Structure 1
Amino acid sequence: MTFLSPERLWLLGLLPLLATVYVILQMRRGHYAVRFTNLALLSQVAPKRPGWRRHVAATLFLIMITLMMVGFARPADSVKVPRDRATIMVAIDVSLSMMARDVPPSRLDAAKSAAKKFIDELPARFNVGVVAFAGSANLIAAPSADRDAATTSIDQLVLAKRTAIGEAVFTSLQAVRSFDAQASQNPPPAHIVLLSDGDNTTGRTVQEAIDASRAAHVPVSTIAFGTPYGTVDIEGETTSVSVNKETLRALADSTEGKAYEAADSEQLRDVYANIGTSLGFRTEHRDVAARYTGIALLFGLAAAGASLAWFSRLP
């Protein structure tokens, strides 16, 4: 639980003062009773002492005041609300390093399979677009609710040289801004999910991509895919293609996305499933002050009832 007006909680500091005043007044009552010199007559005037009952109404009253003060600070619960017009951009690395077979049958084939499953399991209200990037980035499926178009575009991915992570982010952001007629002025809530196994080797820098994403308020979640033992044969030479996790983590952390790592197909499917769950809703804070006001009212009625029943007066 959180408070929408937490500065009002300072009023709770008055409660110990009220309790202290009450205790002092009760002690003075006892002092005045002792000063009544004729104790036998006192027992006849007040034959029955209220004892603990006289504190019940005061306790209930203090609880009521506490609840009202908490309600005045506007307590709020966190609730998950489905996103409207939400757009998910799936960016997939198709650089030559993705043909490494440390993840069978290859990094690219495993990535394609997991990405298609991820898209198929997204809520139907989501719009999905696909970007492929190597030396440049290309929008191969514009954001839409057409799942078949998105998965078909993934089936047609082909490998190319170099890795342009920054360009992939810029292309994804442009697709979001072009989503519909109102997207340029009122872009839909969006999230970029970028899978890669390498570093940015061409195009605009990752820092430029971070700045653009932050300006557009579009987080980028990254998946570092592959193992440290991947190799590829290019023009007769075997080249090591280990995963550059640091670059991808910096991109995610700096845009309020999440950085994931996956070393095999099963881990990659789990990562996509995790992302899909987190993207399905947004968290909002809903005011629940009425709940505390209602409970406070019940305690107030209880205090009044106890006082009337035992002392024939309101507290």
Structure 2
Amino acid sequence: MFDLASPWWLLLLLAIALVALAYVQAQRRKQNRALRFANTEVLDQVLPAQRNRLRHVPIALMLVALVVLTVALASPQADRRVPRNKATVVLVVDVSRSMNSTDVAPTRIKAAQAAAKRFADELTPGINLGLISFAGFPVTLVSPTPDHGATKLAVDKLQLADKTATGEGIFAALQQIQTLNAVLGGGQNAPPSRVVLLSDGKETVPDDPDDPRGAFTAARKSKEEKIPVSTISFGTVGGTVNLDGDEIPVPVDDDSLHQIANLSGGDFFTASSLDELTKVYETLQKQIGFETRRGDASRPWLIAGTILVLLAAAGAIAINRRLP
């Protein structure tokens, strides 16, 4: 099923039906005259039954072609995925010490860097991309810009630090997006925005995620601003990190990251390897880099109608030695 922008063109189908009816009537009259004045045995030899049926093929093709072209005139509409010409994405990457765990080869942070650079490479040109890292506090490495190369360079400079202030990272991303939107005119002129948060553990600063600067509070603020936060829980439950010679367990925390995504209206993903993380970024790229638009879908109908017209003409010349 599809919508038609100009359905009144379908009235031409009545004319096509009349043409088909007129052709049938003409063939009947022609056959009656032939039977009235001709010897049937001689007629069967001159015009075999098979050829008698084939001579109707060209006109049948032409009628079908007219139906198809009439549908094309009615301008069928369909949903199409087209690249966005503007949007804003801020990558927020956890650089706490737990990201040095080797449960994801070679380490969580190095795998995250590799996947982030590939994401920047494949993101639709024209989309503003920014980068924020966070441990005990957020650091804006790249403000949103269509120069994705700047983000790739900054990804290589990520440095690990103590603590995990997830909420502060989200608040910093919102501020960057709001600043850009103000420059672009705000309101209806603001492009669609998304925060992509990659982390492996539970927030440690503040202790309560519902604190005014906590992760859940930041997620609710994102919801108010209509800026969804898509979260990626990166790592495994068996992850450990070596701190001063001691192996410290750093299990990935899916629950809090899932809650952040739910509260903000974003999507939640998990990844326990570089390949899985790359696939997550590919999914996000498709979500963010493209949009669905309703538009004209008459081209296939025009192509099909033209081909049928050509087949009808070729058939008429080959079978009837004349155009229909």
Q: TM-score, normalised by structure 2?
A: 0.64
Q: Classify the secondary structure of the residue corresponding to 1:179.
A: helix
Structure-to-structure mapping, 1:236-247, within 5 angstroms: 240-247=249-256
The answer to whether the 8 Å contact 1:95/1:160 transfers is yes
Distance 1:3 1:214, change over 3 A: farther
* 1:128 aligned partner, one-letter code: L
What corresponds to 2:200 in structure 1?
197
The answer to whether the 8 Å contact 2:170/2:215 transfers is no
Find 1:263's aligned residue among 242, 247, 272.
272
Q: In structure 1, how many angstroms separate the alpha carbons of the residues matched to 2:160 and 2:55?
A: 83
What corresponds to 2:133 in structure 1?
132
Q: In structure 2, how many angstroms separate the alpha carbons of the residues matched to 1:233 and 1:255?
A: 34
What corresponds to 2:175 in structure 1?
174
Residue 175 (structure 1) shift: 1.2
* 1:184 aligned partner, one-letter code: G
The answer to whether the 8 Å contact 2:81/2:293 transfers is yes
What corresponds to 2:37 in structure 1?
41
* 1:228 aligned partner, one-letter code: V
What corresponds to 2:52 in structure 1?
51
* 1:230 aligned partner, one-letter code: G
Question: How many residues are matched?
Answer: 301
Distance 1:29 1:104, change over 3 A: closer
Once the two structures are superposed, what CA deviation does each residue of 1:34-58 show, in whole Å capped at 9, x if it has no partner? xx9x9673548x9576822553344
Find 1:184's aligned residue among 164, 183, 186.
186
Q: In structure 2, how many angstroms separate the alpha carbons of the residues matched to 1:281 and 1:224?
A: 24
The answer to whether the 8 Å contact 2:101/2:108 transfers is yes
Distance 1:106 1:61, change over 3 A: closer
* 2:272 aligned partner, one-letter code: A
Distance 1:215 1:62, change over 3 A: farther
What corresponds to 2:4 in structure 1?
5
1:161 matched to 2:163? The reply is: yes
What corresponds to 1:222 in structure 2?
231
Structure 1 residue ranges without an equivalent (≥5): none
What corresponds to 1:67 in structure 2?
68
Distance 1:303 1:242, change over 3 A: same
Structure-to-structure mapping, 1:55-134, within 5 angstroms: 55-71=56-72, 72-76=74-78, 78=80, 80-81=82-83, 83-103=84-104, 106-112=107-113, 114-116=115-117, 118-119=119-120, 125-134=126-135
The answer to whether the 8 Å contact 2:199/2:234 transfers is yes
Structure-to-structure mapping, 1:23-34, within 5 angstroms: 29=28, 33=32
Q: TM-score, normalised by structure 1?
A: 0.65
Identity of aligned residues (%): 29
Residue 65 (structure 1) shift: 3.6
The answer to whether the 8 Å contact 2:92/2:169 transfers is yes
Once the two structures are superposed, what CA deviation does each residue of 1:14-46 show, in whole Å capped at 9, x if it has no partner? 89x959x95xx67x949x94xx9x9673548x9
The answer to whether the 8 Å contact 1:100/1:231 transfers is yes
The answer to whether the 8 Å contact 1:163/1:199 transfers is no
Q: Classify the secondary structure of the residue corresponding to 2:52.
A: coil
Residue 227 (structure 1) shift: 1.0
Once the two structures are superposed, what CA deviation does each residue of 1:198-244 show, in whole Å capped at 9, x if it has no partner? 3455235548626735853x554432211110235789997643223
Q: In structure 1, how many angstroms separate the alpha carbons of the residues matched to 2:91 and 2:35?
A: 88
* 1:261 aligned partner, one-letter code: T
The answer to whether the 8 Å contact 1:101/1:230 transfers is yes
* 1:226 aligned partner, one-letter code: G
